[in-house]
Amino acid sequence: MRKLYSESKKIGEVEIKNRFVRSATGERIASEDGRVTDELIEFYKVLAEGGVGLIITGVTYVHANGKSIPNQLAIDKDDLIPGLRNLTDVVHKYGENCKIAVQLHHSGRQSMILESPPAPSVVIEPTFNVIPREMTIQDIEDTVEAFAKAARRAKEAGFDVIQLHAAHGYLLSQFLSPYTNKRADGYGGSTENRIKIIEDIYKRSVDMVGKDFPILIKMNVDDFLEGGIKLDESMKIAQKFSEMGFAAIETSSCMWEVILRTKKELGWHPVFNPEARVDINSKEKEAYNLSYAKEIKKVINVPLILVGGIRSLDVIEKILKEEWADFIGLCRPLIREPDLPNKWLKGIGKITCECISCNGCTASLLSGSIRCIQKE
């Protein structure tokens, strides 16, 4: 019987050995100044050995004014390249043709550590209790250059792919969304204007790394906020990204304003946030971004990576068979079981992962590095 999830597929000119992608998450395992540590290398070595086809690193800041969490990985200086090269070398050595991407990130207004971070506009919400400053044109141009230089460093460090983080209410998502972008210049207003910073970053990055180096993008299909991006506009945005030259699009949803918190034994933790919903305990609740992805898939000509509450192998196989997506993004399941792809590929164990979608791993980031609290 044909197992689509085990088949290889290209992203640009890079062949991914199977359809499993480790979707990005913050880890807080880098040094205080963003350098690769032995613990971070071991974390990714275990993931690579687990059988996933493509690893996307956690959020990696391109400029110090875009750092969002403590001990976040950095790619904003050339002297970081050797450490990043050590990371990619280990993944390539132990991952049996595993590929690795770095997620290029800028927090914008959603920083937990900066007092007055740059943002498209001064939109004040109590998400992180900070008041951002509105970016000047020079700030925008400097940010474009920071992303492009980070792309160049990524290639020099041995990454196979890069991904721009334009989802979940971080800086590029803030530019895309009319909820957070109130600018009256060429970077605000129309959909075309709100895309402009990403188009500038893409073109300048291609100048740095060449047109054959795959650049991916992660975007919101719905902000879930009044005045934010909805599906009709996200389809237009995705189509423009596809035409622009992005090698693949990862679809996600939500911004950090949409956080509801619930008291449980293990403390406060997000019920519904950009990364995850809780209590995915039936197949009907799985793949909660799928209905959006089906529509996005109709208007793009590049591979689509689907992330969000995917827990069962038969659900995965149906998604791939129906061509609703080309790759399956997994995050929390791989925190619980880093070897889950190997289990599924070899027919070992259950077809549903052990992750119970409690979001304890997300809560663990508030006090330290990410981990599955159910394993403790």
Q: Against a cut of 0.85, is the pTM above it?
A: yes
Which amino acid is it at 271? V
Give residue 309's identity as a one-letter amino acid code: G
CA–centroid distance for 306 within its chain? 11
Q: 186-209: string of b/e by CB count within 10 Å (b at 16+)?
A: ebbeeeebbbbbbebbbebbbebb
Q: Which CATH superfamily includes the segment(s) 4-375?
A: Aldolase class I (3.20.20.70)
The pLDDT tens digits of the residues spanning 85-95 come to 999 999 999 99
* Annotated domain spans of the chain: 4-375
Q: H helices within 50-126, ranges in order?
A: 81-94
Active-site annotation, residues = 170
Taking only the tens place, the pLDDT of each residue in 289-348 is 999 999 999 999 999 999 988 899 999 999 999 999 999 999 988 989 999 999 999 999
Q: Mind listing the pLDDT tens digit for each residue in 130-179?
A: 889 999 999 999 999 999 999 999 999 999 999 999 999 999 999 999 99
- Would you state the pLDDT for residue 338? 93
